[in-house]
Chain A
Amino acid sequence: MHMADALISPVVGGTLWAVTAGLASYSAKKMGKDLDDAKVPLMGVLGAFVFATQMINFTIPGTGSSGHLGGGLILAILLGPYAGFLTMASILTIQALFFADGGLLALGCNIFNMGFFGCFVAYPLYKRIVGDAPTQGKLLAGAGIASIIGLQLGAFGVVLETLFSGISELPFSTFVLLMQPIHLGIGIGEGLITTAVILFIWRERPEILKKEPYSIAKGSINLKRIVVRMAIATILISSVVSWFASTNPDGLEWSIAKTSNQEELAAPEGIHSVLADWQKKIAILPDYNFKEAAEAASSSAKGEEAAAWPAVSGGTSFAGLVGSALTLLLAGVIGKSLKMAATKRS
């Protein structure tokens, strides 16, 4: 579920980064007030623990498939939502930096998709289900439902972020149908594993579960305030960043306008028509397809001149390909000579 930089636009990436940064400083501030200084080593070590445990492959009985421990819920249970969120953020950061699991621009999105939904949505839900007097059934239900919902929301976040970036051609309906069922399965797996661990703790050292680091009583996580702030930030950032970004954010529109004879390759029999039919049949939101929206917009803009944004030569042409090859060659030469210069110096 980690998003890569290749599929994301700076607008989406930047916006989500702003939101994540806001959440992070909010969490840090909240922690600052009730910081139990034993938390400092605890967060670090638990972060390492969850990271390491995510490498373990568990087989889910009956399905023959495997599952992993997600960690967001367990961290929130052991540390409270704020410390849990920051710990998830650090885990994702190390994954992005050292294991190329998720891009650096997309890191904001990933921390939001997995950290926010895990700690600020799934965890309160878990607490509400389990209540003050946990029983085996309640723990199973709480961990299971919370994990599933958290993952579904996270997966949906991925879909929306990819869609709004406009790099991938995947239409909304296809992507949703791809992501949600897969993550439902993952969510169930994660829920089962989380439950198993929680049950173990509950049997051996229940005081860990009973100790409530931060009260999630109705008032203390003001979800409404968080959502409002996020919405304001989103609107502000995306409008500011969009203004700076290319006046033709959707390259598809640009290329349609610029294509010499505006012809669409006649749809060959086979894959394309199958996909097209399939799309039409199951499109849940048929109007919510950026491709069509872009086409509609471009047909009205056909007469306009190329946008004023600095000399971006539209798309890539044959000349472009030749030039690219040449550039690659040049790059290689530069690299070799830099290396020789460096070794000569040392």
Chain B
Amino acid sequence: MIKIEAQLVNLRHLDELATGNTVIHRLNPCAKLLTTMVFIIVVTSFPKQMLAGLIPLCIFPVALVSLGDLPVSPLVRRVVLTLPFIVFIGIFNPLLDHSVAFQIGDVVISNGWISFFSILTRSILAVSAALLLVATTGMEGICAALYQIKVPKVLVIQLLFMYRYLYILLEEVGRTIQAYNLRSFEDTGIGYKAVGSLVGQLLMRTLDRAQRIYVAMRCRGFDGNIRLNRQTRVQYQDVAFAFGWSAFFIFVRMVNIPQWLGSLLTEGYR
């Protein structure tokens, strides 16, 4: 199905972006991971009535995109793709919450709508942060960071192996589905009768492949312990990045900058 090819393209694209060599890419992956998590926690900690206060946080993804030399439209497209589901759940807010936030002349803006847009904004911010983390760090970097923060080795190795073989499996499944489609003349997905043997055989081949990999590992002396030869250095710019941005996020959480800016302007007229 086209879906698999699209996923493969997506995967390769993000992976490709991560090989860039900008100042952001060169930062220590732990610093980026930490900063991203602080960002997401701050975003989600805003009360749902707070919309304006969230806005200054968008400087973070903007800065990452600019300094990381990342293409804007594919990333925007990805973020937008996640919105429909959010809209579906979030739309209940304006439908159910009719308390008044404020009035502009005759137009009354309810808190429901404020919280709806707040939800949309959170989504955009959180999803961008995650995508940008991957686009500037890559799977390898993220696993190095996870290993550094003491995530169990079994899990880190699992992530690395799985990621490595994901491309192969996606291609194989893609080919299998294409072969199926070319001989079935309805474009509606795989019929139930074929499910068992199609997936079952894929599984058999996968198990065989796992066995071959295991043999290859044994032939090169594998004894159950994968040794990762990683050393990540922490430099001044990594610490500055993490602390600087985190401080900014917390400041934004505490001070509603747009409110202050806006009241400066609106009160200035009186």
Contacts and interface: CB of A to CB of B under 8 A. Distances in A.
A89 to B, nearest CB: 7
Contacts of A131: none
Contacts of B47: 246, 248-251, 254, 312, 315
Given A6-B126, A43-B161, 6 more contacts: A55-B170, A90-B155, A197-B196, A197-B203, A323-B261, A324-B262
Nearest to B127: A100
A313 B47 CA distance: 11
B254 A44 contact: no
A48 B165 contact: yes
Interface string B194-214: 011101111110110111011
Contacts of B157: 40, 44
A208 interface: yes
B48 A166 contact: yes
Contact of B170 (A52, A167, A265): A52
A142 B165 CA distance: 30
A93 B163 CA distance: 11
Given A42-B214, A56-B173, A264-B98, A28 B152 contact: yes
Given A264-B100, A320-B256, A56 B190 contact: yes
Taking chain B's interface residues, is the majority helix, strand, or loop, or is none over half, making it mixed?
Answer: helix
Interface residues of B, number: 132
A196 B170 CA distance: 21
A295 to B, nearest CB: 10
Interface of A: 4-10, 13-14, 24-25, 28-29, 31-32, 35, 37-38, 40-49, 51-53, 55-61, 66, 69, 86-87, 89-91, 93-94, 96-100, 103-105, 162, 166-171, 174, 192-193, 196-197, 199-201, 204-205, 208, 245-246, 248-252, 254-256, 259-261, 263-265, 267, 271-272, 275, 291, 310-328, 330-332, 334-336, 338-339, 342-343, 346
A248 B263 CA distance: 23
B207 to A, nearest CB: 7
B31 interface: no
A7 B89 contact: yes
Contact of A56 (B93, B199, B264): B199
Interface of B: 1, 3-4, 7, 10-11, 14, 22-23, 36-37, 40-41, 43-45, 47-53, 55-56, 58-59, 62-63, 65-67, 69, 78-79, 81-82, 85-86, 89-90, 92-93, 95-102, 104, 108, 110-112, 114-115, 119-120, 122-123, 126-127, 129-131, 133-134, 139, 142, 151-155, 157-166, 168-170, 172-173, 177, 188-192, 195-197, 199-204, 206-207, 209-211, 213-214, 217, 222-224, 226, 254-267
Nearest to B11: A98
A197 B268 CA distance: 70
A41 B154 CA distance: 11
A107 to B, nearest CB: 9
Contact of A49 (B43, B119, B177, B202): B202
B199 A196 contact: yes
Contact of B266 (A5, A51, A103, A319): A319
A48 B97 CA distance: 43
Contact of B115 (A24, A69, A167): A167
A55 B2 CA distance: 10
Nearest to B99: A264
A66 B189 contact: yes
Contacts of B69: 339, 342-343, 346
A323 B63 contact: no
A301 B241 CA distance: 41
B62 A326 contact: no
A277 to B, nearest CB: 13
B199 A332 contact: no
Contact of B202 (A53, A91, A204, A315): A53
A52 B259 CA distance: 47
Contacts of A322: 258, 261-262, 265-266
B155 A24 contact: yes
12 contacts: A4-B82, A5-B127, A32-B154, A53-B199, A98-B134, A100-B82, A105-B44, A168-B89, A174-B92, A248-B47, A316-B53, A319-B267
Nearest to B104: A318
A166 to B, nearest CB: 7
Contact of B123 (A5, A32, A45, A162): A5
Nearest to B262: A323
Given A37-B223, A55-B4, A316-B52, A265 B169 contact: no
